[in-house]
Structure 1
């Protein structure tokens, strides 16, 4: 298997807003770590290029993806871009301005840099590379959907209105579904030098201690540790996995401010804990050590002469209200097989961690399943989560500007789309019985807490 790899700097050169939090105002005040796009270009079985890319941003919107493909001179379907989902980078998704205003000058810079890099990669074949995969237990994430009794202190203070009830709060839920598994795919050249590491850990990159600073968050921290061992030329592609309801499990959640302390002490007020800079570094170093061990354990085998590239689009999963200009939304799926031992399945949307026990068993051990594929931005809950409610099921819609709602039967729709990618060629376990099951069966049973 031949592959070319390249790292492109996309750190902003001028002040710009950051994307990820609606309450954040103004431009960033400092650059703590650089932002990157890490790319790997392959030839598929038809001899056509396909490029897998990991981009330090919240989302890559459909318009930016189209612009990059045009700048690169390749069809958009051959450009498989996955956002690292850092909440400390400028927006590359003008379609969701409430999560951070889009800066056209920054967007144009990123489009041109990635487009030019892709052109260079596909202009000449890369060296012959072997491929290996491994996985390691990484107990550093936790589910964030906690069933809890909540008192709305904001309504009490500003509206003098008592609002109290049981909801799905955004707070650590240790009995919730989470996949504590770090997976990696390693590409080595003929001299056994590591040319690229593709790694995944299902976790939100949204707890960086400096919300007004530019940072690649923990994907950048792990990237630096991998390069310290494998060399600065090593491309490191982070794929967030099924991370929509997973957050860092902070070993020591010391409050950063008096306001944080008060918030943690109030009764009936479940909140997300905040990192201190020291606890963030300790957590990131522990995760980095697991990533290094995982990459070192990935034994090399011949990846075959070419990469298998397939794509599919699901039926609609979200129905817009029409009047508000919100369209119906389907999910895009892309599958890349690196021979018969490992590969990547990428999906649009923030696939919540509750998908892990449903989808991961359908894939062989060496495959990485990830959301955050470039395209429409939305959370993708399971049917059970839609019934339960919570931010990932319904409250996100106002923030994302998505009036409307989900269709029934999300689990069979997603399973069938994955199955469509699995029927042809090799590498996937077929699941021909999915359509024979009633919709309630795959929706209910797999949502139990799941540990790798």
Structure 2
């Protein structure tokens, strides 16, 4: 029987950080808009134990993955183990991977602090009783909210400061057929039917975030908060499984 325990951890930095998703924003910022989170699912059965972590970064890191795998291997004795780290892909997270983000420096102290916070939460989950759970799969469609974000322009166009030559623009193109499905999985207690956690996967690149000098979980964090408000469950773990996991 599958059993689960869940946790949410604040991973907002306490020191100034450079935004990971924008080449033009080079100055470290220390203001926090929507707090950054790691949402954690520890799933076990008799012969295996799996740890799934959704963290509000642009990219997951091998360092976090290896640390969690080492921890789980040491604790889940005589069980098959697996770890997957997913990034919610917010562009307003701190820099985490020097190879992917404009060759800027990475704050190793911040990465180590996040790893420590997540491991500490996992240790608490491992000590607590787990809950048998069921999986409920939903596939809503919201056609007015999803649009392809690159547009081919065959002529010169006026930009904010200059004329842009023909080419690909970061602009909406409603003529392109894309996957508009929003995939949601609810994890419910088999004993009480209580909703224990939500897993979501959908297109959520930031669009015109009004405060470019804040660290933030925008836009996934906004969606997560609205889900919690609608369900009146302010501590509900909400995971975003998108992009390629580190596993």
Same fold (TM over 0.5): yes
Partner of 1:232: 234
Q: Select 2:246's aligned residue among 361, 370, 374.
A: 374
Partner-residue secondary structure (3-state), 1:80: strand
Q: Select 2:154's aligned residue among 149, 160, 179.
A: 149
Partner of 1:185: 185
Partner of 1:168: 168
Cα pair distance change 1:9/1:99, threshold 3 Å: farther
Partner of 2:209: 208
Rounded Cα–Cα distance in structure 2 between residues aligned with 1:194 and 1:170? 38
Rounded Cα–Cα distance in structure 1 between residues aligned with 2:88 and 2:41? 15
Cα pair distance change 1:68/1:193, threshold 3 Å: same
Partner of 1:12: 13
Partner of 1:406: none
Partner of 2:35: 34
Is the contact between residue 20 and residue 91 of structure 2 (CA under 8 Å) also seen in structure 1?
yes
Partner-residue secondary structure (3-state), 1:8: strand
Is the contact between residue 132 and residue 187 of structure 1 (CA under 8 Å) also seen in structure 2?
yes
Which moves more between the two structures, 178-187 or 2-11? 178-187
Q: Select 1:95's aligned residue among 99, 117, 123.
A: 99
Rounded Cα–Cα distance in structure 2 between residues aligned with 1:199 and 1:19? 23
1:150 CA drift (Å):
5.0
Cα pair distance change 1:99/1:175, threshold 3 Å: farther
CA RMSD of aligned residues (A): 2.8
Q: Deviations over 1:245-294 (max 9, x none)?
A: xxxxxxxxxxxxxxxxxxxxxxxxxxxxxxxxxxxxxxxxxxxxxxxxxx
Q: Deviations over 1:105-159 (max 9, x none)?
A: 11111111112222333445511122211121112121122121254989x97xx
1:24 CA drift (Å):
0.8
Rounded Cα–Cα distance in structure 1 between residues aligned with 2:234 and 2:56? 17
Q: Select 1:135's aligned residue among 130, 135, 139.
A: 139
Partner of 1:126: 130
Is the contact between residue 57 and residue 83 of structure 1 (CA under 8 Å) also seen in structure 2?
yes
Number of equivalent positions:
237
2:198 maps to 1:197:
yes
1:3 CA drift (Å):
0.5
Partner of 1:219: 220
2:30 maps to 1:25:
no
Partner of 1:43: 44
Rounded Cα–Cα distance in structure 1 between residues aligned with 2:185 and 2:207? 24
Q: Deviations over 1:196-226 (max 9, x none)?
A: 0111212313542212112111321222222
Rounded Cα–Cα distance in structure 1 between residues aligned with 2:63 and 2:201? 26
**Structure 1: any 5+ residue segments left out of the alignment?**
241-370, 376-452
**Structure 2: any 5+ residue segments left out of the alignment?**
none
Rounded Cα–Cα distance in structure 1 between residues aligned with 2:164 and 2:29? 35
1:97 CA drift (Å):
4.0
Q: Deviations over 1:280-321 (max 9, x none)?
A: xxxxxxxxxxxxxxxxxxxxxxxxxxxxxxxxxxxxxxxxxx
Q: Deviations over 1:154-182 (max 9, x none)?
A: 9x97xxxx9944x3332211111322222
Structure-1-length-normalised TM-score? 0.48
